[in-house]
Amino acid sequence: MKSQRIKTWAWVHKWSSLVCTVFMLLLCITGLPLIFHHEIGHLLGTEVEAPKMPASTPRESLDRVLETAKALHPDRVVQYASQPEDDDAIWFVTLTPTPAPTDDFKQVAVDARTGKVLAQPKTDEGFMYVMLKLHVDLFAGLPGMLFLGFMGFLLLVAIVSGVVLYSPFMRKLEFGTVRRERRPRLKWLDLHNLLGIVTLVWAFTVGATGMINTWADLIVKYWQHDQLSALLKPYQGQPTVPMAERGSVQQSMDVALQSAPGMKLSFIAFPGTAFSSPHHNTFFLRGNEPFTSRLLQPVLVDAQTGVITASPRLPWYLTALLVSQPLHFGDYGGMPMQILWALLDIATIIVLGSGLYLWLKRGNTVPASAKAGADPHAAHAPVAQPASTAAAKVGT
């Protein structure tokens, strides 16, 4: 019965590993430069920086900033406005043909103190854009995201089944043993198992958060249906507030910030966008600590009257999404955590690559019955064989 259980787990591990290995290799390789996207942006000269000025320099009105950005693209509407977490001297204004979600957007960086245009970042070209699109959706939009989410699920299955197989396989070997004197395939199997078990927690964390991130569009749509629609019942039947009838965005922002002392602005979603309603400017505020800066508090301000109509707590599923995004790329602990994430990413690439090698070389293995008596480790060959031919512990 125990032998049958091991065979079942080996079968599960084999096919979950084989199906997802190539895609997980792609995600690990493309994810490596994304860990250092800010640093690479500085090297490539694509990172926008505001000129140095005294911290006490007064800020330009947000209304003026938005007018400046829109003047460059008068045929578009302002969809979002945001500020970097570590630099409130810049406004990034996103403009699209319509408020609805679209990949056709332009971005304008405006100096928050002078109201002058700093740059128009090209977000749809270059090396980092290709890496991001391959990592996020394979250039296939929502279907690509959901497909990669399924690959992430298979990775988690491979990790769990690999852990189950690890114990019987290593029962007569010391932890960390790599039999270098044996044939290359056995040596790679030991290295594969060692790196797999060492990177276990990290791989599971990154795999799980990556899978959650692929559901982002669906989670936001569910939030709109589940909670935002209930908050908008008083506005049912009313048309979207025309641009000419909207009040001052600067005044609305001041009201939103006054309602949540100690919090800072993360981004603004304007009427009709995915994160707002047809009638509100929605201000997403964040905390000041590394963790609380990822937990956003929405404040809905009537775009016409400038009055706060709601400030709901985000539901757990949206909070899980917001927390998982920076955790996936190691954005919580600065450079030390980025380096750690990169090293673990490289280790996982070795695990995945060695698992693929073990599968491709499976035909060169001497049958366990032929080496019994000559091989001092023959006692666990029956367990090692299915684990290795399954590309043992791929992803762990």
Residue-wise pLDDT for 81-92, tens only, equals 999 887 889 999
Q: In the numeric block, which tokens belong to residue 22?
A: 């190539």
Q: Quote the pLDDT of residue 323.
A: 85
Q: Quote the pLDDT of residue 123.
A: 81
Asked if residue 313 belongs to a domain, the reply is: no
**What's the 3-state SS for the chain?**
CHHHHHHHHHHHHHHHHHHHHHHHHHHHHHHHHHHCHHHHHHHHCCCCCCCCCCCCCCCCCHHHHHHHHHHHCCCCEEEEEECCCCCCCEEEEEEECCCCCCCCCEEEEEECCCCCEEECCCCCCCHHHHHHHHHHCCCCHHHHHHHHHHHHHHHHHHHHHHHHHHHHHCCCCCCCCCCCCCCHHHHHHHHHHHHHHHCHHHHHHHHHHHHHHCCHHHHHHHHHHHHHHHHCHHHCCCCCCCHHHCCCHHHHHHHHHHCCCCCEEEEEECCCCCCCCCCEEEEEEECCCCCHHHCCEEEEEECCCCCEEECCCCCHHHHHHHHHHHHHHCCCCHHHHHHHHHHHHHHHHHHHHHHHHHHHCHHHCCCHHHHECCECCHHHHHHHHHHHHCCCCCCC
Q: In the numeric block, which tokens belong to residue 12?
A: 């599960």
196 and 149 within one domain: yes
Q: Quote the pLDDT of residue 114.
A: 94
Q: Could you read off the pLDDT of 210-227 as tens digits, one per residue?
A: 999 999 989 988 988 888
Lowest-pLDDT range, 156-165, 190-199, 278-287, 343-352?
Answer: 190-199
Number of domains in the chain: 2
Q: Quote the pLDDT of residue 14.
A: 86
Average pLDDT, the chain: 83
Last residue of a domain, one of 257, 288, 303: 303
Asked if residue 128 belongs to a domain, the reply is: no
Q: Quote the pLDDT of residue 143.
A: 94
Give the residue numbers spanning the domain of 263.
59-121+242-303
Q: Does residue 195 have a pLDDT over 80? A: no
Maximum CA pair distance of the chain? Answer: 88
Q: 389 falls in which pLDDT band (50, 70, 90)?
A: very low
Q: Does residue 379 have a pLDDT over 70? A: no
Last residue of a domain, one of 303, 323, 353: 303
pTM: 0.79
138 and 23 within one domain: yes
Q: 366 falls in which pLDDT band (50, 70, 90)?
A: very low
Top-ranked range on mean pLDDT: pick from 61-75, 181-195, 236-250, 276-290: 61-75
Q: Does residue 392 have a pLDDT over 70? A: no
Asked if residue 314 belongs to a domain, the reply is: no
Q: Does residue 95 have a pLDDT over 90? A: yes
The candidate with the shortest Cα–Cα distance to 393, out of 155, 210, 147, is 155
Q: Could you read off the pLDDT of 36-82 as tens digits, one per residue?
A: 998 898 888 888 988 999 988 999 999 999 999 999 999 999 999 99
148 and 29 within one domain: yes
Asked if residue 189 belongs to a domain, the reply is: yes
Q: 393 falls in which pLDDT band (50, 70, 90)?
A: very low
254 and 367 within one domain: no
Q: Does residue 387 have a pLDDT over 60? A: no
294 and 253 within one domain: yes
Asked if residue 11 belongs to a domain, the reply is: yes
160 and 30 within one domain: yes
Q: Does residue 104 have a pLDDT over 60? A: yes
Q: Quote the pLDDT of residue 199.
A: 83
252 and 141 within one domain: no
Q: Could you read off the pLDDT of 313-361 as tens digits, one per residue?
A: 888 998 889 888 888 888 776 788 899 999 999 988 988 888 887 788 7
139 and 206 within one domain: yes
Q: Quote the pLDDT of residue 182.
A: 63
Q: Quote the pLDDT of residue 390.
A: 31
Asked if residue 182 belongs to a domain, the reply is: yes
Asked if residue 48 belongs to a domain, the reply is: no
Cα dihedral sign, 16-22-23-25: positive
252 and 190 within one domain: no
Q: In the numeric block, which tokens belong to residue 299?
A: 């404040």
| Residue 295 exposed, middle or buried by CB count within 10 Å (0-12, 13-18, 19+) | middle
Q: Does residue 169 have a pLDDT over 70? A: no
147 and 204 within one domain: yes
Asked if residue 145 belongs to a domain, the reply is: yes
Q: 173 falls in which pLDDT band (50, 70, 90)?
A: low
Last residue of a domain, one of 255, 284, 303: 303
Per cent of the chain over pLDDT 70 is 85
Q: Does residue 295 have a pLDDT over 50? A: yes
Q: Does residue 371 have a pLDDT over 70? A: no
249 and 384 within one domain: no
249 and 286 within one domain: yes
